[in-house]
Amino acid sequence: MAESPALGTAAPRQRRPLVAVVDDDPAVASSLEFALVVEGYRVNAYHSANDYIQRQRSHVDCLIVDYKLDGMDGIAFIEELERRGALPPPLMIAANPSRRCRQWAAAAGVPLVEKPLLDSTLTDRIRSLVGGYSHS
């Protein structure tokens, strides 16, 4: 028989996963941050690959990367983090992804979600990457 918590004690809370969003469009980054916070995630937003590399210091449970970033595209960014041994579970977002992007994502096993992000596809993919977390 399973033991239940003593009266007056709460069951331990599940840690809210941290999602990092890297998108050079401030409107997209802000919208994603808002939507993911509503879903119960902690979110850090970055406006470039270099911004993430320079500022990110905590454990990230899921990394959302835009394919078309200024300076270093999403593919090069993910590959650089992998080379450094610092790649959290990645997910790429793209508007009209090129054939190269689709092929790379498929070969690398990186989920690709197309913009506009209108349904639950993005949050479903994040949930699968962070082990089924749900704030409800």
CATH of the domain at 118: 3.40.50.2300
Q: Is residue 11 part of a domain?
A: no
Kindly tell me if the per-residue pLDDT of 136 is higher than 80: no
Q: pTM (2 decimals)?
A: 0.84
Q: Is residue 29 part of a domain?
A: yes
Q: Is residue 13 part of a domain?
A: no
Q: Is residue 10 part of a domain?
A: no
Q: Is residue 7 part of a domain?
A: no
Chain segment 108-121, per-residue pLDDT in tens = 999 999 988 888 89
3-state helix, strand, coil in the chain (%, to 5): 35, 20, 45
Residue 69, amino acid:
L
The confidence score (pLDDT) of residue 7 equals 52
Q: Is residue 35 part of a domain?
A: yes
Q: Is residue 101 part of a domain?
A: yes
Chain segment 2-40, per-residue pLDDT in tens = 444 455 555 455 688 999 999 999 999 999 999 999 999
CB 43 within 8 A of CB 33: yes
**The total number of structural domains that make up the chain:** 1
Domain that holds residue 24: 18-129
% pLDDT > 70, the chain: 86
Q: Is residue 12 part of a domain?
A: no
% pLDDT > 90, the chain: 75
